[in-house]
Amino acid sequence: MTHAPLLRQITDFANRANPYPLYEELRKTPVLHEEEDGPYVISSYWDIKNLLHDPRISSDAANLTAPGDDELSGPEATGLPPSFIRLDPPEHDRLRRIANSSFGPPHRPTRVDSMRGELARIVTGLIDGFGDARQIDVVDQFAYPFPVTVICRLLGVPREDEPRFRSWVDPIVAGLDPDTRTSAESLKTAQEARLQLGMYLNGLVEKRAREPHDDMLSDLVNSRGPDGAMTTMEVLSTAVLLLIAGHETTVNLITNGMLTLLRFPQYLQRLRDDPGLSVKIVEELLRYEPPVQLVPQRTCITDIEVRGVTIPKGSRIWLVLGAGNRDPERFPDPDRFDPDREDIQHLGFGSGIHSCFGAPLARLEAQIALAELARRLDNPQLVEDPPPYRPNAVLRGPRHLGITFDGLR
């Protein structure tokens, strides 16, 4: 570890492959504030959990008064209103309820579960596609195409358009990284990409308004429940949010999962013998190697006190989920990967009103993906450890994961 300020080390790529020793350092100062205009960094489990449930903590960047902060998804900046992940109640709750009426209980209690067969077919097709190869890249050949295909089907976005919107997704995701956000140019690129993606989706939304299909875009544009209808702009910003969230997180859960199972092959073997273990393995992965390491978009709307430190109104707060998940005050022996833990109430999906909307889908995708990889790959081995990582500090995961194997079962 270097002697740079801890705040800088969080975003420093040198710590990407293994940020956990740094997090141990961070937890020694549970409320870290190293730079006058910089964020307050929170790293212990209970503080993070409490703040995620605290109504004095806002997700709306309009509440920021700290200089240098820009709203990535602000209306003036992009022409698209912020999506509900960047809004507070009551607007957040209204938009989330409308979106949820197309996705989960009580209106669509079977939507996710009814996709089980289709998810298994997509996974089988991807694994069969390895053909006679004895070495593959888990990311490019499996963990990326799988959730992308799923979110496209769910929303009603043509899968074959993926190369087109990929060029917009990449800069949007780069803009979520607090390090890149400091560059005005990358922020502008992200804003333009968000607008382009919104305009692309608008073409599909117009078609679905005329001729609805059985997909979420159709439901969003035609929603007429007790919460009223979404405006077209709200439909577009919600669709952008779902498309990005469906793209960039599950890929890391599956890849982190395969990496971890190959590091601890006894669990790979147990999963092969008992596919039902995938439920516990995925929960422990969300604790041990969470795909979202950091929530950097929170602001306090009034002065608040955390562990005797006053955080002034308007300050930015970073919640380091990856550090909270390894907090020894919450989890015994936190650095041990142990799917047999009795209690795995991780922060991998956040908590409180913004807790992950897509969690039931992400869980099911990862469970099926890992169980099938374990079952079908004969003698898989890592090509290199650690693998090369993506630059992003927020959405952390390997860029490639090379593995060899002796054939398909």
Q: Under the rule (CB under 6 A), what is the footprint of ligand HEM?
A: 59, 84-85, 96, 241-242, 245-246, 249-250, 253, 291-292, 295, 297, 348-350, 354, 356-358, 361-362
State the Rg of the chain over Cα.
21
Q: Kindly give the residue spans of alpha helices, DSSP state H, lying in 4-136.
A: 6-11, 20-27, 45-52, 75-78, 91-100, 116-128
Are residues 149 and 159 in contact, defined by beta-carbon separation less than 8 angstroms? yes
The C-alpha atoms of residue 26 and residue 192 are separated, in whole angstroms, by 35
Minimum distance, C-beta of residue 133 to ligand HEM, in the bound complex (Å)? 26
Nearer to ligand HEM, 28 or 166 (CB): 166
CB of 148 to ligand HEM, least distance (A): 10
CB of 182 to ligand HEM, least distance (A): 20
User: Is the link from the previous residue into 75 a cis peptide, with omega within 30 of 0?
Assistant: no
Measured from the CB atom, the residue of 173 and 405 that comes closer to ligand HEM is 173
Closer to ligand HEM at the Cβ: 170 or 381? Answer: 170
The DSSP string of 244-262 is HHHHHTHHHHHHHHHHHHH
Point out the residue whose Cβ comes nearest to ligand HEM: 358
Q: What minimum distance in Å lies between the beta carbon of 378 and ligand HEM? A: 27
Strand-pair category, 135-137 with 402-404: antiparallel
Least distance to ligand HEM, CB of residue 16, Å: 17
Provide, rounded to whole angstroms, the least separation between the CB of residue 298 and ligand HEM: 7
Chain-centre distance of CA 360, in angstroms?
13
Nearer to ligand HEM, 107 or 381 (CB): 107
Sign for the pseudo-dihedral over CA of 356, 361, 364, 369 = negative
d(CA 388, CA 402): 10
Nearest CB to ligand HEM, comparing residues 60 and 405: 60
Q: Which is nearer to ligand HEM, 165 or 405 (CB)?
A: 165
Q: What is the distance between the alpha carbons of residues 76 and 80, in angstroms, rounded to a whole number?
A: 8
